[in-house]
């Protein structure tokens, strides 16, 4: 007797949302660096400055994305290789965007 393969939807949701959360962090970091208005809007905790808003919003987006995808993909069997590839692209972009010289390049500095 073989054990049925468990649905990979919940795992795919966790992986993809984590990748997108990292990407959101990178995008917000560069955007806040390039826009004084956005930096001011993200200044949630004055002693930490815009970093407080950048990280709070990125984490909120990550968790929201995780919850939504986990509910939608709860019992689904997905093409995990595609989901995983997308997650790694997001992760790589997120890592790259946090590197200041790359952000400066995008901002034309």
When asked if residue 6 is in the footprint of other proteins (CB under 8 A), the reply is yes
- Distance separating alpha carbons of residues 2 and 105, to the nearest angstrom: 54
When asked if residue 91 is in the footprint of other proteins (CB under 8 A), the reply is yes
Q: What share of the chain is helix, strand, coil (3-state, %, to 5)?
A: 75, 0, 25
When asked if residue 47 is in the footprint of other proteins (CB under 8 A), the reply is yes
- Distance separating alpha carbons of residues 20 and 14, to the nearest angstrom: 10
- Indicate which single residue of 40, 74, 100, 105 sits in contact with other proteins (rule: CB under 8 A): 100
When asked if residue 21 is in the footprint of other proteins (CB under 8 A), the reply is yes
Tell the smallest beta-carbon distance from residue 7 to other proteins (Å). 8
SS3 86: helix
CB 15 within 8 Å of CB 84: yes
- Distance separating alpha carbons of residues 47 and 88, to the nearest angstrom: 33
- Indicate which single residue of 60, 89, 99, 105 sits in contact with other proteins (rule: CB under 8 A): 99
When asked if residue 42 is in the footprint of other proteins (CB under 8 A), the reply is no
- Indicate which single residue of 31, 54, 65, 69 sits in contact with other proteins (rule: CB under 8 A): 54
């Amino acid at each position: 007797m073989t054990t049925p393969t468990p649905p990979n939807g919940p795992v795919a949701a966790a992986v993809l949302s984590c990748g997108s959360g990292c990407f959101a962090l990178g995008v917000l970091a560069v955007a806040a660096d390039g826009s004084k208005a956005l930096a001011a809007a993200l200044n949630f905790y004055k002693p930490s400055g815009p970093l407080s808003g950048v990280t709070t919003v990125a984490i909120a987006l990550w968790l929201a994305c995780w919850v939504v995808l986990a509910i939608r993909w709860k019992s689904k069997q997905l093409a995990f290789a595609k989901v995983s590839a997308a997650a790694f692209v997001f992760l790589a972009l997120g890592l790259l965007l946090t590197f200041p010289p790359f952000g400066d390049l995008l901002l034309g500095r």
